[in-house]
Amino acid sequence: MDLRIIHELQADGRLSNQDLADRVRLSPSPCLRRVRRLEEAGLISGYTAMVDQVAFGLPITVFVRIGLERHTAEAVNVFEHHVGLIDHIQDCYLMAGSSDYLLRIVIESLEAYERLVRTRIHAIPGIASIESSFAFGSVKQSKVFPRPSPA
C-alpha cells in the first residue's frame, strides 16, 4: 500500500488526500495517516513543481565528468562544497570508474556555459580534468521510481 501511495504522489504531488485515497483504494483517514508516516520516516522528503527547462530559459543540458588531482578527504570536501554553491549544477554524483564525479548542468547558452566553466568550475581547487558532453535532447526523464524487486 505504501508503494502505491508513493507511486501516485510521484506521478502527481498535488493530489488531494481524497483523490489519493480513491486511487489507492483506501478511506481518507488511513491514507492520510500513511502519508504522514511516510513523511516522518523520510521516504517522502518533500513536494515540488515540475518546471519545463526550455520554457524556463535553460535549454542546454551538459553532463560534465570531473577528475580530481587528489582523493584526500580535504580535496573531496573542498570540491563538494564548491559544487553546492553553483546553482546551475542540478545533480552531482560520486562515481566509480574513470571519472570521480558526474555533474548535470542546465544553462542558458553555450557562451554562458563557457563563462561558468572559466569563472566558477576552473576556480575550484584540485580539479585535474573536466570533460563536457552536451545533450541533443531528452528521450526519457522519469520522476517516478520503479517498484523495488521483492527481496
The cell 569563472 sits on which residue?
119
The C-alpha atoms of residue 91 and residue 99 are separated, in whole angstroms, by 15
Domain 2-40 in this protein, CATH class: mainly alpha
Instruction: Tell me the pLDDT tens digit for each residue of 88-116.
Output: 999 999 999 999 999 999 999 999 999 99
Q: pLDDT band at residue 64, thresholds of 50, 70 and 90? A: very high
**Which CATH number among 1.10.3720.10, 3.40.1010.10, 3.30.70.141, 3.30.70.920 corresponds to the domain 53-134?**
3.30.70.920
pTM over 0.85: yes
Rounded mean pLDDT of 127-132? 98
Domain with CATH 1.10.10.10 in the chain: 2-40
> Considering the chain, what percentage of its residues have pLDDT values greater than 90?
91
Q: What pLDDT score was predicted for residue 55? A: 96
Return residue ranges of the chain for CATH 3.30.70.920.
Answer: 53-134
